[in-house]
Each structure stands twice: as C-alpha cells, then as structure tokens.
Amino acid sequence: MKIIRAPTLARAHELAVKAVLEKGWVLNTEDEEATIEYEEIALDIENPFSEPMASPCSRFQQRFLEQYADNLLNGSEAAFEYDYHRRLFDWGETLTQDGADVHVDQIAYIVRKLKESPATRRGVAVTWNPAVDESLDDCPCLQLVQCILRDGKLQMKVVFRSNDMLSAAGANMYALVHLQKRIADEIGAAYGRYTHIALVPHVYYKRDLNDIVPFCKKGAAMQPVPEVCSLCGECSRASLR
C-alpha cells in the first residue's frame, strides 16, 4: 500500500493522480472501460479543512463540490441506482426485520456511540447491501466510514473498494470531511485527521484524457506511463511508445 501524507485535500488529490498515472498499469474493466490501475493508496490529511480544499487542476471546483457535499449530507431529489446519503442515513433498502422495513440511520448511531463511549472503535457505518448490490450495474464504491475520538478530536477513516482518483476522489474527500465536521459538531469535538483508503485506485485515461492534461502540465508535474502520453500527444513524451 502506498501512503501519501499531504497538507491539504487538494495536494492529496494531485499526488494520488500522479501516483496512479506514473506507477500504474493498463487494465480494461469488466465494462470494457480503459483504465490505469494501481495498488492500494492511503491518503492522510492532518487538517482536512486547510485551503485549498479543491485542486486548481480539477474541473470540479467550489460550486460543484458544495452541491455534492450537500447531496451527501442532506439528500437529493435526483434518482440514482444508489446514493451515499441514503446508504449512510437510511440503510436497509429492500430488507425487513420482524415484518417491518429496515431503516438504519448509521450516522445517528455513530454520534450516539461516541457520546456514550468516547474511546469506542465501533463508530462504523457501511454502505454495501448484498440484497441490492450484487445485482446492480452501478454499486457503491465507498464501503466503510469509521469515526474515532482521540485527544478531543474526531478522526474519520474511509475505505473505497474502487476509486476514480481523477474525477471522483476530490469530490468524495470534500463531501466526507464535511460529514466528519457535522459529526464532530454534534458531539462537541474538534475535527482531526482524515484518512482516505482506496483499495483499487484508477484513472479512466481514455474517457478523461482532457482532464489529465491540467494535472500533468506537459510532463512538468508528472510523467505518466507511455500509454497515456502517446494518447495525449501534448508534449515530447508522446513518442515514448
């Protein structure tokens, strides 16, 4: 596992993209999408609300990120196969217990558990629902959220089974640290370290080629694998392959 420690979310995002594109390998997904995939990455940010929270290289900037965070925290009217708000605040779709539908507010549970037992390691929420997700074409990438209270600060650790580091990770991190702050506020604590673990980090290098260019800066910021450079053609590295 590659561990990346960064002073801001923005820098963590940039370093994660760099790691995948420089050290990764080509793999077509089960949906036949061309990716550069890499080994597990853990992003560690001591103060996740330090600016900049959004990388200037990313096309997803403040307005989009704020809306994405609001959707995670408060829900959205849009219809998706799944959404993280429902999975965290109302888990249990299609399930019943003793004849009643299952509705579990996992964030309320985390808040309650931390108030009852500040040293707990059980402040955990999950998103995966086997009754639903085994048959979904688009199933949750975020799998687990854990909150612990240490030295008066609420730490959050999240695990993604798969994470698009170029187009999704920046928004994912932005929204989740706002969830972290909400939980910290509800238990009367400061917020602390945020750790973002991607078990299968990747970049859709053909689909999102135009979004790679600002991160790469024509080879000045990173030197991607030859497959990316030959496809891009923006600098002298295009002849590598």
Helix axes 62-74, 169-187, angle to 10 degrees: 50
Instruction: With cut-offs at 50, 70 and 90, classify the pLDDT of residue 89.
Output: very high
pTM of the full predicted structure? 0.95
What is the pLDDT at residue 151?
96
Q: For residue range 199-225, what is the model confidence (pLDDT) as tens digits?
A: 999 999 999 999 999 999 999 999 999
Instruction: Say what percent of the chain tops pLDDT 90.
Output: 92
Q: Does residue 145 have a pLDDT over 60? A: yes
- Distance between first and last Cα of the chain: 28
Task: In whole angstroms, give the CA distance from residue 221 to residue 23.
Answer: 14
Query: Could you say which of 1.10.10.60, 3.30.572.10, 2.40.128.90, 3.40.50.720 is the CATH number of the domain covering 2-203?
Result: 3.30.572.10
In Å, how far are 9, 54, 69, 79, 165 from 76, measured between CA atoms? 24, 22, 11, 8, 24
In 3D space, the residue among 105, 109, 83 whose CA is nearest the CA of residue 175 turns out to be 83
In percent, the amount of the chain with pLDDT more than 70 equals 98
Q: What's the whole-number mean pLDDT along residues 73-94?
A: 88
H-assigned helices in 39-129: 62-74, 84-89, 106-116
Backbone angles phi and psi of 31, in degrees to 5: -95, 10
Place of tokens 């602390």: 192
Domain residue ranges of the chain, discontinuous segments joined by +? 2-203
Catalytic residue numbers, as ranges:
141
CA atoms of 74 and 66, how far apart (whole Å): 12
Q: What is the pLDDT of residue 167?
A: 97
Average pLDDT over residues 5-18: 98
What confidence tier does 235 reach under pLDDT thresholds 50, 70, 90? confident
